[in-house]
Amino acid sequence: MSRLEDLRGRIERREARVGVVGLGYVGLPLAVEFAKAGLRVTGFDLDGKKVESIQRGASYIEDVPAGDVATAVADGRLSATLDFGQLAACDVINVCVPTPLTKTRDPDVSHMAKALEEIRKRIRAGQLVILGSTTYPGTTFELFVPMLEGTGLKVGVDFSVAFAPERIDPANREFHVRQVPKVVGGVTPLCTELAAQIFRHVFDTVVPVSSTQSAEMVKLLENTFRAINIGLVNEVALMCDRLGLDVWEVIEAAATKPYGFMKFLPGPGLGGHCIPVDPTYLAWKMKSLNFPARFIELATEINGHMPEHVADKIGDLLNEGRIAVNGARVLILGVAYKSDVSDVRESPALDVIRLLADKGAEITYHDPHVPEVEIDGTPYKSADLTDDLLDRADVTVIVTRHADTDYERVVARSQRVYDTRNATQGVREGREKIRKL
C-alpha cells in the first residue's frame, strides 16, 4: 500500500493529524471545525499571543465561540504552537496565511513563501498540503509544487497538493463555516480526491474542480463579481446625486423585480480582506499575459474614489451651515470595514478620516468593535457615544452600520447627519437633518 493510499484510510478513520498554518479569521475557524469533527489539530502561528490564547481555551475571533475552543483544547483535539518542527507529524497541512497587496498594488506572496519554506523543510511521503489563501491563478502549481518537489518527492505519487479557497464571511449569522460549500482542486485526481475526503468531515458540501488553477479562479471570480457590481451601484449613486434622486429608493424599487436583478448597495468604498484585494490579483495575473482586465480596473477606480466623494459631500453639508471643514468637529460612527466586525483592513472609514483630517477637521470616532486605531501614525480611540458627544459634533457621519447603534437617538441628538449606509432609513423624527450618499 502506498503512503497516499494509507493517508486515505487515516482520513476515513479520522486518524489523520491536521495542521493549520495561520490562525487568523480563516485558520482558527477551520481548525476548530476539524477538532469538532473528531480530528486532532495542531495550529501554527508566528504570533505568540494567538498561540497562548488558544492554549488556554480562549477565542480572539468574533465568529468563533470561546466555548468551542475551550472544549476542543480540553478534549485534546486542538493545540497551538510556535514550533513549526511539528509540521512533520501532520498528515494534512492547511495553509491559511494572509495574502495582501504591496504598496504598488502587486500580490504579496511573502507569507505564503515563508509557510511553504517551513513545510518544505519537513515534507515527507504521505502528506497532503492544501493552500487556502486567496491568490492569483497558477500560484499552487507554479510556486508550491516546484518547491516541494525540489526535495526529491513527487506530487501525486509521494505527497498531494490541492487548493481550496476560503469563503469566510465575518459576522454572517445565516451561513456558518460548514454550511458554505467547499471548492477543491488538486494537482492530480488523487490530490483532489484526498483533499475532498478530508473536507467532507467538516463541510456539508464539497465541490471538486479539475485543477488547482480552476479552484484559484473560482475564488477570484466570486469576489470580482462583487467588486464590479458594487462599483456599478456606486456609480449609480454618483449619477443619482447629480440627478437629485434617492439612490436607496431606486435600488429598493428595482429589487422588487423577481428575476434578472441582484441587489447590491452603494457605500463609502470597499473594505476588508477580500473584495478590494482579490480582483487586483486577477488583474495583475492577466497583465502578465498582456490582457487588460478593463471591468476590474474601472470598478477599482470607481470604488477607490468613493471616500473622496464622501469627504466632499460632508464638506458640502457643513457649508450649508456656514461651517468650514477646517476646525469642524466631525464624529465618525463606525471604522470597521463592515457591520458588526472589528476588522479595519482596507476600511474606507480610514480614508474618510484621513481626507477630513488633512483638511483640518477635528476627528472623533465611535465604534463598539474597534477600541483604537492608528491612521498614518496618528492614534485614535473610540469615544463613548454620549448625548454630549453627539450634541457637540458639527456633523455625525455614519460610515459603518452596526446593529447595536441607536440611529433614532443619533439623529435626534446630532446637529446634522451624513449617512453613507442608509442606516437612518427607519428614523421617524429629524429627517430634515439627514443627508445620504
- The terminus-to-terminus CA distance of the chain in angstroms comes to 64
C-alpha cell read off for 276:
478590494
Secondary element (H or E) of residue 363: strand 362-366
3-state secondary structure of 315: helix
Nearest to 420 by CA among 273, 263, 238, 225: 238
**Which amino acid would we find at residue 169?**
D
Residue 274 designated active-site: yes
DSSP state, residue 155: B
- Strand ordering across the sheet containing 17-21: 78-81, 40-44, 17-21, 92-95, 128-131, 160-163, 182-186, 206-209
Q: Which of 96, 191, 240, 274 is catalytic?
A: 274
Secondary element (H or E) of residue 302: helix 294-320
| CB within 8 Å of 141: residues ≥ 6 apart | 187, 211, 212, 213
SS3 content of the chain, % helix, strand, coil (to 5): 40, 15, 40
The residues annotated with a catalytic role in the active site are 274
